[in-house]
């Protein structure tokens, strides 16, 4: 009987130890999810200029911003203009992926959009074939995620962003003018 109690106690300790280890690992590595503190789902796109872009490329040594939009979203254009203005002051110390979610838009529409508004050519502009929109549960245009250089979500918003918002958000990941 004492042997059985001892075995149960040892198994219990092992279970608790495993649980504590897994929680610490999860906190250290971040879980896959869409909330601040999570690691975002992986993705693979090709932008309108045939450049491949994925999560490791977006966060390669610097923060990366994912911005979901459509060519006809006026508040989104304003948010991207404010981001461009912030980047002019802060320098190119972060990467940007602008993801177009309207299935009726073409690669030509995406290229014309960047050119019409004079957004930086180093930013990625890609049509989503549909999977990324689902994986990131995009329910509104102007959805954006700021991911730090280690691949953890540090900011999530569905609201338009102005210069002050960008400055505040990027300051949290060490980027400022």
The pLDDT of residue 26 is 45
Please, what is the angle between helix 74-90 and helix 107-117, to 10°?
60
If you average pLDDT over residues 132-159, what whole number do you get? 96
pLDDT (average), residues 5-21:
42
Locate 25 and state its tokens.
Answer: 């690992």
CA distance 154 to 59: 12
* Residue 28, pLDDT above cutoff 80: no
Q: Check pLDDT > 80 for residue 20.
A: no
| Residue 62 scores a pLDDT above 50 | yes
Q: What is the pLDDT of residue 77?
A: 97
Contacts 24+ apart (CB under 8 A), 136-140: 136/34, 136/40, 136/41, 136/66, 136/68, 137/34, 138/68, 138/101
Q: Considering only residues 2 and 155, tell me which one the structure prediction assigns the higher pLDDT.
A: 155
Domains of the chain: which residue ranges?
1-30, 34-171
At 98-119, the pLDDT tens digits run: 999 999 999 999 999 999 999 9
**40 confidence band (pLDDT: 50, 70, 90):** very high
Looking at the predicted structure, is the pLDDT value of residue 6 above 50?
no
In this prediction, residues 59-78 reach a mean pLDDT of: 97
| Mean of the per-residue pLDDT values of the chain | 88
Among 160, 163, 175, which residue's Cα sits nearest to residue 68? 160
Is the pLDDT confidence value at 27 over 50? no
> What is the mean predicted confidence (pLDDT) over 168-177?
94
pLDDT of residue 7: 52
Which pLDDT value is given to residue 45?
Answer: 97
- Which residues are CB-contacts of 64 (< 8 A; sequence separation ≥ 6)? 55, 58, 94, 95, 96, 97, 146, 147
The reply to whether CATH 3.40.30.10 applies to domain 34-171 is yes
Nearest to 173 by CA among 157, 156, 153: 153
User: What's the average model confidence in pLDDT over 62-86?
Assistant: 97
Q: How far apart are CA 41 and CA 23, in angstroms?
A: 20
Closest by CA position to 72, among listed 45, 46, 101 = 101
């Amino acid at each position: 009987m004492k042997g059985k109690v001892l075995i149960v106690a040892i198994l219990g300790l092992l279970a608790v130890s495993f649980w504590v280890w897994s929680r610490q690992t999860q906190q250290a590595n971040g879980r896959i999810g869409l909330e601040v503190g999570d690691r975002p789902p992986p993705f693979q796109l090709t932008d309108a200029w045939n450049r491949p872009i994925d999560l490791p490329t977006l966060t390669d040594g610097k923060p990366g911003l994912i911005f979901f939009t459509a060519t006809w979203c006026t508040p989104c254009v304003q948010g991207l203009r404010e981001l461009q203005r912030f980047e002019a002051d802060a320098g190119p110390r972060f990467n940007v992926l602008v993801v177009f979610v309207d299935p009726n838009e073409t690669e030509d529409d995406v290229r014309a959009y960047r050119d019409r508004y004079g957004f930086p050519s180093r930013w990625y502009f890609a049509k989503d074939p549909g999977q990324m929109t689902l994986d990131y549960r995009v329910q509104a245009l102007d959805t954006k995620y700021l991911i730090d250089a280690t691949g953890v979500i540090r900011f999530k918003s569905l609201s338009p962003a102005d210069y002050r918002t960008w400055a505040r958000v990027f300051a949290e990941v060490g980027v400022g003018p």
